[in-house]
Amino acid sequence: MLKGKHIVLGISGGIAAYKSAYLLRLLIKKGAEVQVVITPNGKEFITPATLAALSGKPVVSEFFAANTGEWHSHVDLGLWADLMVVAPATASTIGKMANGIADNMLITTYLSAKEQVMVAPAMDLDMWAHPSTQRNVATLRRDGVIIVEPGSGELASGLSGKGRMEEPENIVAAIESYFSKKETLKGKKVVITAGPTYENIDPVRFIGNYSSGKMGFALAEEFASRGADVTVVAGPVSLQCENGSIHRIDVTSAHQMYDACLSASRDADCVVLAAAVADYAPEVVAETKIKRENVEDMTIRLVRNPDIAAAIGSEKDGRVLVGFALETDHEEENAISKLKRKNLDWIVLNSLRNPEAGFMKDTNKVSVIGASGQEIRFPAKSKREVASDIIDTIMPSLV
Ligand code: PMT
């Protein structure tokens, strides 16, 4: 699985750096080509000579080679890598990665990396538990970095608790799992709706909702990272796609989303409807701005928008259809009713009663309910992790 894969192994300055030599050896034995990038502090814990001998390549640490003045290109390295693994990642390196503080080769390479980045933190238990570290780790997760959680046990300080870098064998298992997932949806076409729709009242006002598009975009990134051919039909949101392979269609209203989605999903294998589509739109849109002085009070007549999920559900034609249900009460009952009414294969229930779920949040807490009655409840996680759980759950219907 790792044969011929290009891996950048980033090593920062912690006592766990001694384990990186073993991690490097395991990767080389599995056929990976590994380029080590070490921080200046990393070299205090393990010598570049050891790492160069094990990898068969000179170790990169400085921006310029001291003897020749040759420039080490972090951009080339970032493009070369199929995966970058930072192990050990100290609290300082995690903080710099989370905040883009590019003062050494490891961080500049991270900022240039086009493919997946994985981080195996290593530090003392109090440093790991500190709100600042946890904030930085959450930022990395949000940025799509895979975190290989540290283990618990005896630490270099003599204390015992969570903070030990995960064992090299387990980091290799996480790397293999990443590469095996990356291929699983190759050749599958997935269409995802994301964000709100805006229904114009006049040229300056609209009816909308609080959806940020984060859930739909997290799904798009996760599907793309598994090799799927992804089209995201996005309402008005300020998000960017990280993965350059994602095809994006921007729309504003429910009617535009309906047209774009039905056309894009004609030959899709799977359609995921994460958008919060306005159910109603003003029957008449004023051509010019409605003036306050001219209207004492106002009634806007609303007409029903087309239901994208139900339209695709009525002619499913082998496509796997996944809807969302955002509920405030009678959650399961309402979600199951939508699942049946719209002829969905799966519905993802999130409740606004849960403070970690719903609009704009970076986290969500969902239950995934299948058409045959199965239900899996997940704890609150980042939206990217929720996307991963959703895809893992529906995978048997997809492959
Ligand atoms: O975007 P975020 O800020 O990250 O927030 C994420 C989210 C809360 C918007 C998302 O997790 C979510 O729950 N999306 C669906 C919200 C919703 O509108 O649910 P609903 O119960 O009204 O609709 C049920 C399903 O039918 C949804 O899949 C919806 O996309 C779809 N639908 C609804 C109306 C319509 N006209 N066409 C549709 O396709």
Ligand 1: which atom is nearest the Cα of residue 322? 28
Q: Which residue in the block uniquely carries the two structure tokens 């996005």?
A: 234
C-alpha of residue 352 to centroid of ligand 1, in Å? 12
User: What pLDDT digit, counting tens, does each position of 68-77 carry?
Assistant: 767 777 788 8
What mean pLDDT is predicted for residues 332-337?
97
What mean pLDDT is predicted for residues 359-376?
96
- In whole angstroms, give the CA distance from residue 225 to residue 243: 8
pLDDT at position 193 is 98
C-alpha of residue 283 to centroid of ligand 1, in Å? 22
- Residue whose CA is closest, atom 5 of ligand 1? 359
User: What pLDDT digit, counting tens, does each position of 281-307 carry?
Assistant: 999 999 999 998 888 899 999 999 999
Is 104 labeled as catalytic in the residue annotation?
Answer: no
Flag whether pLDDT at 160 surpasses 90: no
C-alpha of residue 265 to centroid of ligand 1, in Å? 17
pLDDT at position 134 is 96
Cα separation of the two ends of the chain: 20
What phi, psi does 85 have (nearest 5°)? Answer: -120, 120
For residue 374, what are the contacts with CB-CB under 8 A and spacing of at least 6? Answer: none
Flag whether pLDDT at 66 surpasses 70: no
- In whole angstroms, give the CA distance from residue 56 to residue 52: 5
Q: Which residue in the block uniquely carries the two structure tokens 């229930």?
A: 349
- In whole angstroms, give the CA distance from residue 171 to residue 179: 13
Ligand 1: which atom is nearest the Cα of residue 276? 18
- Residue whose CA is closest, atom 35 of ligand 1? 307
- Residue whose CA is closest, atom 16 of ligand 1? 276
How far, CA to CA in Å, does 58 sit from each of 5, 51, 61, 150, 277?
18, 8, 10, 29, 54
C-alpha of residue 235 to centroid of ligand 1, in Å? 12
pLDDT at position 1 is 84
User: What pLDDT digit, counting tens, does each position of 224-260 carry?
Assistant: 989 999 999 999 999 999 888 999 999 999 999 999 9
Q: Which residues pair with 302 in a beta bridge?
A: 282
Torsion sign across C-alpha atoms 176, 191, 247, 251: negative
> Mean pLDDT, the chain, as a whole number?
94
pLDDT at position 71 is 73
- Residue whose CA is closest, atom 31 of ligand 1? 309
pLDDT at position 186 is 93
- Residue whose CA is closest, atom 10 of ligand 1? 274
- In whole angstroms, give the CA distance from residue 47 to residue 53: 10
Are 280 and 206 contacting, i.e. CB atoms less than 8 angstroms apart?
A: no
14 compared with 158, residue with greater pLDDT:
14
Ligand 1 binding pocket (C-beta < 6 A) is: 193, 195, 211-215, 254, 273-277, 279, 305, 307-309, 323-326, 338, 350, 358-360
Best mutation site among 211, 336, 367, 394 for ligand 1 pocket (most ligand atoms within 8 Å of CB): 211
pLDDT at position 87 is 98
> What DSSP string describes 125-178?
HHHHHSHHHHHHHHHHHHTTPEE---EEEE-TTS-EEEEEPPPHHHHHHHHHHH
Q: Give the residue from 118, 202, 226, 111 showing the smallest Cα distance to 165.
A: 118
Q: How many residues can be counted in the chain?
A: 399
Flag whether pLDDT at 141 surpasses 90: no
Q: E strands, 229-269, where? A: 229-234, 247-250
Which of 41, 170, 209, 343 is flagged as catalytic?
209
Q: Give the residue from 77, 58, 34 showing the smallest Cα distance to 168.
A: 34
- In whole angstroms, give the CA distance from residue 291 to residue 380: 45
User: What pLDDT digit, counting tens, does each position of 14-65 carry?
Assistant: 999 999 999 999 999 999 999 999 999 999 999 999 999 999 999 999 887 7
pLDDT at position 182 is 85
C-alpha of residue 204 to centroid of ligand 1, in Å? 24
